[in-house]
Amino acid sequence: MFLLTARAMGLPVALVNARLSDRSFPRYRVFAPFLRPLTAGFRAVGAQTAPYRDRLTQLGADARHIRITGNLKLDAPIASAAVPADLARVLEPFTAGKRLVVLASTHEGEERSLLERLPALLGRYGDAVVLLAPRHRERFDDVWALLEKTGVPAARRSAGPPPSATRLLLLDTHGELGGAFRFATAAFMGGTLVPVGGHNVVEPAAAGVPVVFGPHMENFRAEEALLREAGAAARVENADAAVDALRAWLADPDEAKRCGQAGADAVAGARGALEATLALLADTHFLE
């Protein structure tokens, strides 16, 4: 409706930071004949990658008006750049002299399978601790019940600084996950062992943390490729392999640090999408 209204009013329209995921593209392609009159009307299109550019042209966007500008998310301020004081008061003693694994943005089905395998991991590495951050806050109580069943000393972040014996900490607060990555040795990104499509792996990578994720990264293919090419991420097929990958980085913290730094460097080197997008809009006289 927006595009139809803009076209009827003679208003120029630009599409920036454009992508078409593996999941959504086949659905859009079915309706390509109906979409072409709309997509052909974009005065400027900034695509994140060459594959996304090609998909847009198949839907009718004019190739002459498309430029690869990169991913604006890489230019956004990174939440992991700063650690809230309240979070620091909890995580600094929890992680002092320890190796922290962050299980980030997990979904139903992932926590259970990972937690079943963590006691053996924690038993092998006595200085390892785990921070579990479910994606949806309405699931905090359900996930806490799973933690209690592991038999591993656990605590909730909302209860304040955890007891010294705590090995599993549930991050049941809002907006603190980004800061938590600064304390991590390695991380697992949820929404990837179940068919969700993944979550933002740039955040832990920018904090210098190597990342493990499952096969369902449909919404973050470009970010996946960036980190895997840098040697900063491991793609696995199941929970067993995920825990094995985390174990490898716990066993060799120096290698984990090297991989994490490679990821941070890759993210820093891939920035510039904002400048490229503004140049696209200027070159097409969109803002005039």
pLDDT band at 80 (very low <50, low <70, confident <90, very high): low
Residue whose structure tokens are 């659905």: 27
| Element containing residue 93 per DSSP (H, E) | helix 85-95
pLDDT tens for 179-234 read: 999 999 999 999 999 999 999 999 999 999 999 999 999 989 889 999 999 999 99
Report the length, in residues, of the chain.
Answer: 288
- Mean pLDDT, rounded, for 31-49: 87
Checking if the pLDDT of 38 tops 90, the result is no
- Mean pLDDT, rounded, for 115-144: 96
Q: What is the DSSP string of 98-115?
A: -EEEEEEEE-TTHHHHHH
**What integer pLDDT is reported at residue 115 of this predicted model?**
96
pLDDT band at 81 (very low <50, low <70, confident <90, very high): low
Checking if the pLDDT of 78 tops 80, the result is no
**What integer pLDDT is reported at residue 288 of this predicted model?**
67
Cα 141 to Cα 46, 134, 137, 267: the distances in Å are: 42, 10, 9, 35
**What integer pLDDT is reported at residue 10 of this predicted model?**
81
Pairing of strands 128-134, 168-170: parallel
**What integer pLDDT is reported at residue 39 of this predicted model?**
84
Between CA 154 and CA 169 the distance in angstroms is 6
- In terms of pLDDT, which residue wins out, 75 or 8? 75
List of residues 6+ apart from 230 with CB closer than 8 A = 262, 263, 265, 266
CB atoms within 10 A of CB 231: 14
- In terms of pLDDT, which residue wins out, 283 or 145? 145
- Mean pLDDT, rounded, for 30-34: 85
List of residues 6+ apart from 102 with CB closer than 8 A = 130, 131, 133, 177, 180, 181, 184, 186, 187, 188, 204, 209
**What integer pLDDT is reported at residue 20 of this predicted model?**
87
- In terms of pLDDT, which residue wins out, 288 or 105? 105
Q: Which long-range contacts (CB under 8 A, 24 or more apart) does 155-160 make?
A: 157/90, 160/90
Q: To the nearest whole percent, how much of the chain has pLDDT over 90?
A: 74
Token output for 8: 């009827």
pLDDT tens for 43-57 read: 899 999 999 999 999
Checking if the pLDDT of 258 tops 90, the result is yes
Between CA 271 and CA 195 the distance in angstroms is 28
List of residues 6+ apart from 30 with CB closer than 8 A = none
pLDDT band at 14 (very low <50, low <70, confident <90, very high): very high
Which phi and psi angles does 107 have, rounded to 5°? Answer: -120, 170
List of residues 6+ apart from 287 with CB closer than 8 A = 281
Q: Which long-range contacts (CB under 8 A, 24 or more apart) does 150-155 make?
A: 150/115, 150/116, 150/118, 150/119, 151/119, 152/118, 152/119, 152/122
Considering the chain, what is the average pLDDT of its residues?
92
**What integer pLDDT is reported at residue 118 of this predicted model?**
92
Domain limits of the chain? 2-70+272-283, 79-269
List of residues 6+ apart from 88 with CB closer than 8 A = 179
Assigned fold of 79-269: Rossmann fold (3.40.50)
Cα 1 to Cα 24, 74, 149, 281: the distances in Å are: 19, 30, 51, 23
pLDDT band at 79 (very low <50, low <70, confident <90, very high): low
- Mean pLDDT, rounded, for 251-267: 97
